[in-house]
Structure 1
């Protein structure tokens, strides 16, 4: 067992499994779920980081130590939750961190480690819960992506690559599991007041002077936003719960004015480019 106490077997409301639940979006989503009367299995690398959440809700929060990059531990945690409650109603893949660096600057190790955290870990958790959700004919999977999972810009190529991969996997998943009554939601936040840009949380590659003009401003600007971001994690959590409870849950949910504006502008630019090159695109089939 991952906790010193045995969780109650009769869970109130839905049972949530939330990774990265000790802070930021994970904590906000956990608190929103608890406010509705649900039960939360809160996962974090350090179980001590969950003490405050457990103290506030001792009867409905079960803390578990989980490094999502450890496949064996992922399988064990899902098995434990099923043993305790017999179901997982909502999986929230939230654990993550940022990385700033030009494509030439980031190392293989940095890229692989971030891909393990943002892609392979959520993929493993998703595969682990799906058989149980399919057998019940219900459930929801929430993938915490980013507006950087829809488009990218200088300095965040490695980060966006991991989120692009997660979104591609999840879009296919949504079509595969819809017949089983399983909802799938990709959340694409902009800048929210979480610890994402805080000291020690945001990774940065070693800088190459040649990229100072394009990547340098991101290196400086992103950490300076810590604690000043416009987005409210509490409102984000409420929006996520509302989307899950909606009759028609969207596949993608941008959050924040910055995210909504940037994604819409990107979609417009993408469509404009596709239309401009449409004749070339269509002129590449064999002639009849």
Structure 2
């Protein structure tokens, strides 16, 4: 029986992953600001421990990790799932809402990860799964601040994978595309209240209308995502980067091709900034 530790487990992907793991015979420490909401969504289960956790509170993160070990003796899988979106042009976003988003999406992920890693290092095993986004691999107009938090998650994950490999701990950054959850609803999405008229009719301004129309019409099936996450942790050699959804796969392929083409066009200038190689004359 593996032990999962899932943040943001009271709704959306968190609830579905919790149910999938329990159905597979695993134990789940399901954390949320309101732990009663987890039990309400999932139901009572002998292998479920619902724990209060605001990921922005480092002391509470350590307490939650301690409660997990006290109850089940170990933590095998950490899923950093808690987070939310912010819609609006970069220039429209206020300092307070930007800092609030980073506090959850980036600093909260770090606090929880630091709380769990001592146990995984002690075990010399574990799997850290950081939920990024299609917007963690490429930037979108109207999502610049949100994308920047997910780009941070991607960089942290790549470094962590190298740092934790000696301890037998795997790291995977998970990149879901647009799935039919409540992510675009007001309980998961903040919208910058400030609007700058110049952005109306531009890609950033139009994204506000697109997001409203796309809510609950996204192509991704959340239940299939949860099943995919179980398949991912069952792998003997999990990947560093795991895209989910046809839209994410298309974005990765398009960006990779663009980066390769651009590098080819600018290769000469890119290579021109090194010191000249010194030549050693024969004696």
TM-score class normalised by the smaller sequence = over 0.9
Alpha-carbon separation, structure 2, partners of 1:191 and 1:131: 34
Alpha-carbon separation, structure 2, partners of 1:32 and 1:200: 23
Aligned twin of 2:62 = 75
Alpha-carbon separation, structure 2, partners of 1:254 and 1:190: 8
Q: CA deviation at 1:71?
A: 1.1
Is there any run of 5+ residues in structure 1 with no aligned partner, and where? 1-12
Aligned twin of 2:270 = 281
Q: CA deviation at 1:275?
A: 1.3
SS in 1 for 2:141: coil
SS in 1 for 2:242: strand
Aligned twin of 1:7 = none
Deviations 1:61-108 (A, max 9, x none): 111111101111111111111122221111100011111111111011
- Structure 1 residues 200, 52: CA separation in 2 closer, same or farther (over 3 Å shift)? closer
Q: Which runs of 4+ in 1 moved over 4 A?
A: none
Kindly indicate whether the alpha-carbon contact (under 8 Å) linking 1:17 and 1:40 is maintained by their aligned counterparts in 2. yes
TM-score of the superposition, structure 1-length normalised? 0.92
- Structure 1 residues 132, 200: CA separation in 2 closer, same or farther (over 3 Å shift)? closer
Kindly indicate whether the alpha-carbon contact (under 8 Å) linking 1:146 and 1:163 is maintained by their aligned counterparts in 2. yes
**Of 23, 38, 41, which residue of structure 2 is paired with 1:35?**
23
Query: Aligned Cα RMSD in Å?
Result: 1.2
SS in 1 for 2:91: coil
Q: CA deviation at 1:227?
A: 1.5
The number of equivalent residue pairs is 275
Alpha-carbon separation, structure 1, partners of 2:62 and 2:212: 35
Aligned twin of 1:192 = 179
TM-score of the superposition, structure 2-length normalised? 0.94
Aligned twin of 2:239 = 250
Aligned twin of 1:225 = 214
Kindly indicate whether the alpha-carbon contact (under 8 Å) linking 1:149 and 1:161 is maintained by their aligned counterparts in 2. yes
SS in 2 for 1:277: helix
Is there any run of 5+ residues in structure 2 with no aligned partner, and where? 278-283
